[in-house]
Amino acid sequence: MILISPSILSSDFANLAREVGAIADGGADLVHVDVMDGHFVPNITIGVPVVASLKKVSALPLDVHLMISDPLFYTPAFLKAGSDMITFHLESGSDVSKTIDAIRSGGAKAGVALKPATPAEAVFPYLDRLDMVLVMTVEPGFGGQSFMADMLPKIEAVRAECLRRGLSVDIQVDGGIDPKTAPLVAKAGANVLVAGSAVFKHEDYAEPIAAIRQAAVEAAG
Ligand SMILES: O=C(CO)[C@H](O)[C@H](O)COP(=O)(O)O
Ligand SMILES: [Co+2]
């Protein structure tokens, strides 16, 4: 099943409650929340208090993408704030197994994200304890960048390994996803599509959400 997770990084931060309401009305499945600490990536965005505030107003599950150093330390706070899914970076420096366990024992779904330079094989040892793998299709840090088509073989490799081992792990893609790139990633095996600028640059969010979904569903077959 294809899920669409609009990234509120490109939304109007002065009106977040209205924005998450509008993407829910527009047919989104999840709300993608990009947390950046100015250390793991060269940008600072949303933190724990904003996630807690979003939880109060969002009808959709919160898909929290931690682009931070030491996600293990911050996991309890993001769980308490109401994160439904927490994805952290394999390159973050935290113990990967301990961080997955902390997220899952707190009742959230756990994802591991891979920067473009990190090979698919790096996540294989953790696949059987993961709900999701996030294959970044841009360098993490900023919205509005161009899709990296050379990440498609990595998506295929993660999907092939999941199929080989009989694991039903979600594969998320994040960065430069729009109705043109959605079919490429869906064909490669991704099923959770994050889209920021492609959704929020439109007046009517239902339009790009439907277009991305339709293009992905058709390509996935
Ligand atoms: O994690 C991210 C950046 O690090 C964002 O989720 C991503 O860039 C979405 O924005 P866009 O769809 O505009 O590329
Ligand atoms: Co993201």
**Binding site residue list for substrate:** 7, 65, 141-144, 174-176, 196-197
Q: Which among 34, 37, 63, 170 is annotated as catalytic?
A: 34
Between CA 38 and CA 79, with CA 122 as vertex, the angle to 5 degrees is 50
CATH number of the domain within which 170 lies:
3.20.20.70
For the question of residue 34 being annotated catalytic, the response is yes
Range of the domain at 118: 3-220
Q: What is the DSSP string of 129-173?
A: G-SEEEEESS-TT-SSPPP-GGGHHHHHHHHHHHHHTT---EEEE
For the question of residue 178 being annotated catalytic, the response is no
Closest ligand 1 atom to 176 CA:
14
Per-residue pLDDT averaged across 93-110, rounded?
98
Closest ligand 1 atom to 65 CA:
1
pLDDT value of position 178:
98
pLDDT value of position 171:
98
Q: What is the mean pLDDT of the chain?
A: 98
Residue 221 has pLDDT above 90, yes or no: no
Structural domain total, the chain: 1
Residue 92 has pLDDT above 90, yes or no: yes
Q: Which residue among 11, 197, 212 is best mutated to probe the pocket of ligand 1, counting the most ligand atoms within 8 A of its Cβ? A: 197
Q: What pTM, to 2 d.p., does this model score?
A: 0.98
- ipTM strictly over 0.95? yes
Q: Which residue among 31, 194, 212 is best mutated to probe the pocket of ligand 1, counting the most ligand atoms within 8 A of its Cβ? A: 194
pLDDT value of position 217:
98
Per-residue pLDDT averaged across 173-197, rounded?
98
pLDDT value of position 146:
98
**Which value, in Å, is the radius of gyration of the alpha carbons in the chain?**
16
pLDDT value of position 25:
98
Q: Which ligand is nearest to the CA of 141?
A: 1
pLDDT value of position 124:
98
pLDDT digits (tens, 9 = 90+) for 128-183: 999 999 999 999 999 999 999 999 999 999 999 999 999 999 999 999 999 999 99
| Structure-derived torsion over alpha carbons of residues 60, 127, 153, 34, reported in degrees to the nearest 10 | 30
Closest ligand 1 atom to 177 CA:
12
Residue 81 alpha carbon to ligand 2 centre in Å: 18
Q: Which ligand is nearest to the CA of 41?
A: 1
Q: Which among 29, 37, 131, 174 is annotated as catalytic?
A: 174
The length of the chain, given as a count of residues: 221
- List CB contacts of 173: < 8 A, sequence separation 6 or more: 134, 135, 136, 137, 151, 155, 185, 190, 192, 193, 194
Residue 74: Cβ-neighbour burial (10 angstroms; 0-12, 13-18, 19+):
buried
